[in-house]
Amino acid sequence: MMTKKNIAIIYGTRPEFLKVYPLILEAKKRSIDIVTINTGQHTSMLSEMEQVFDYSADYNLAVQSSDFSNSNLLAKLINDISEVVKENEIEKIIAQGDTFTVLASSMVAFLEKRKFYHIEAGLRTDDIRFPFPEEYNRRVVSLTSDLNFAPTKLAANNLSKENISSEKISVTGNTIIDLLQYVLEKENIRLEYGNDIFITAHRRENIGDNMYSICAAIRELAEENPTFTFHWSLHPNPNTRKFIFEAFKEIPNNINFIEPLNYIQAVKLMAKCKMLISDSGGIQEEAPTLQKRVIILRDETERPEVLECGCGVLVGADKNKIKNEFYKELENKNNSFTNPFGNGKASQLIFDSI
> pLDDT of 83-138, one tens digit each?
999 999 999 999 999 999 999 999 999 999 999 999 999 999 889 988 889 999 99
Distance, CA of 260 to CA of 213 (rounded, Å): 22
Please tell me the predicted confidence (pLDDT) of residue 332. Answer: 84
DSSP type of residue 206: G
Distance, CA of 25 to CA of 182 (rounded, Å): 11
- What mean pLDDT do residues 162-178 have? 97
- What mean pLDDT do residues 172-196 have? 96
Q: Give one DSSP letter per residue of 73-142, joined into a string.
A: HHHHHHHHHHHHHHHTT--EEEEESSSHHHHHHHHHHHHTT-EEEEETTT---SBTTBSTTHHHHHHHHH
Distance, CA of 211 to CA of 203 (rounded, Å): 10
- What mean pLDDT do residues 66-72 have? 89
Query: Contacts for 259-264 with beta carbons within 8 Å, 24 or more apart?
Result: 259/233, 259/234, 260/45, 260/233, 260/234, 260/235, 260/236, 261/233, 262/48, 262/49, 262/52, 263/18, 263/49, 263/52, 263/53, 263/179, 263/183, 264/52, 264/183, 264/187
Q: Considering the chain, what percentage of its residues have pLDDT values greater than 70?
A: 99
pLDDT at 274 over 80: yes
Q: Give one DSSP letter per residue of 43-55, joined into a string.
A: -HHHHHHHHHTT-
pLDDT at 319 over 50: yes
Residue 33: which pLDDT band, with cuts at 50, 70 and 90?
A: very high
Residue 254: which pLDDT band, with cuts at 50, 70 and 90?
A: very high
Q: Give the residue from 166, 162, 206 showing the smallest Cα distance to 315.
A: 206
Distance, CA of 174 to CA of 138 (rounded, Å): 16
DSSP type of residue 190: P
Please tell me the predicted confidence (pLDDT) of residue 4. Answer: 58
Residue 224: which pLDDT band, with cuts at 50, 70 and 90?
A: very high
pLDDT at 204 over 90: no
Please tell me the predicted confidence (pLDDT) of residue 8. Answer: 98
